[in-house]
Amino acid sequence: MPRELRVIGPRQVALQTYEDVPLKPDEVRGQGILSGISHGTEMNLYRGTSAFADHEFDMDLRLFVPRKGPAPAGEIGYEWVGRLTEVGADVHHLKPGDLVHMLIPHRDTQTFVPENFPYRGRIEALPAGVTPEQAIILALAGVALAAVHDARIKVGDRVAIFGLGAIGLLAVQLARLAGAGWIDAIDLHPARRELAMRFGADRTLDPAACDVGYEIKTASDHHGADVAIELSGHYAALNEAIRSVRMAGTVVAGGFYQGGATALRLGEEWHLNRITMVSTMAWWECPHRDHPLWNRPRINQVVTDLLAAGKLDTDGLISHRFPFARAAEAYELVDRHPEDVVKVVLAY
């Protein structure tokens, strides 16, 4: 029987079986090839550290409110790539064998209505020549592109990107495409810094080995980056991003921050330099800041086109591959040894 992955408690995941029901005329069904583990959102849900552990998000109020009752054991994941095996009689734009990318949980099979799919619009087959290993980064590339759009990068801008996981490494490439004149890429881990240089960064910095804010400010006649994009989800990195931008510069915060912000010192550079801090969020029904000209389906189409055209490099982003049956080991690796991984995927 097919299996799906569910969180059953803090740092506990389990595979549970289910049955595929007969296909409806407006549905399609696909068989999984790969799905990616999100090192931010998913890992915080896995650890039980997310606000969702004891709160619910009221979509009308746009407010976290106390959860009534225990948190339900739930599906997890939003990076799934597979090939269609069945197509309903009323679906004419897709066919068996088409490769698709879905914002949908870790599962052997997926059955869905391809019209008006949440956050995506109509699901289309991926272009010929796009591999599953490339397609697995499409959701993250959309997050990175939304962050670059929120950064309002201009041709010639100095940009600092903090956190060189998969999203950060994609943001390095997209910032260059957007016109960045100089890119500093910051991460604790040497392997990620090496990838950033290959993907187009002008310089990498190790925050454990130098004062990043000082290094960036003294390297520029404008005394800092025009914009910093923080994608690690760590408050210390967010504070360093604030320290790195020029007076009246912009910091785009895209990490899934957890817990108290003891490392964030808002009474220092953020206050004295009149820094603008922008939250970037491409999900949860948040409109693009240039809506309706831009929306999530257009973001998806752009990153798909860039990938198909070879303008986004994915080589080296997948650092580990686990069989779906060993999903628990994959989560444990990301949880305990984040320094050893870039992108971890599950293979079906």
Predicted local confidence at residue 72, as pLDDT: 66
- Percent of the chain residues topping a pLDDT of 90: 75
Q: pLDDT tens-digit profile of 272-315?
A: 999 999 999 877 778 899 899 998 889 999 999 999 999 999 99
pTM listed for this prediction: 0.92
Residue 219: how many other CB atoms lie within 10 Å: 15
How many C-beta atoms lie closer than 10 Å to residue 261's C-beta?
13
Given a cut of 80, whether residue 316 has pLDDT beyond it is yes
When pLDDT is cut at 50, 70 and 90, the band that residue 222 belongs to is confident
pLDDT for 175: 98
CB contact at 8 A, 330 and 322: yes
List the end-to-end C-alpha distance of the chain, in Å, as a whole number.
13
Radius of gyration, CA atoms only, the chain: 20
Structural domains in the chain, CATH included, are 3-137+314-347 (3.90.180.10), 140-279 (3.40.50.720)
- Rounded to whole angstroms, the Cα distance separating 93 from 102 reads 16
Residue 32 CA to residue 28 CA, distance in Å, equals 13
Q: Which pLDDT does position 143 carry in this prediction?
A: 94
Rounded Cα distance between 162 and 217, Å, is: 15
Q: Please, what is the average pLDDT of the chain?
A: 93
Mean pLDDT over 331-344 rounds to 92
pLDDT grade for 194, boundaries at 50, 70 and 90 = very high
> Which pLDDT does position 255 carry in this prediction?
87
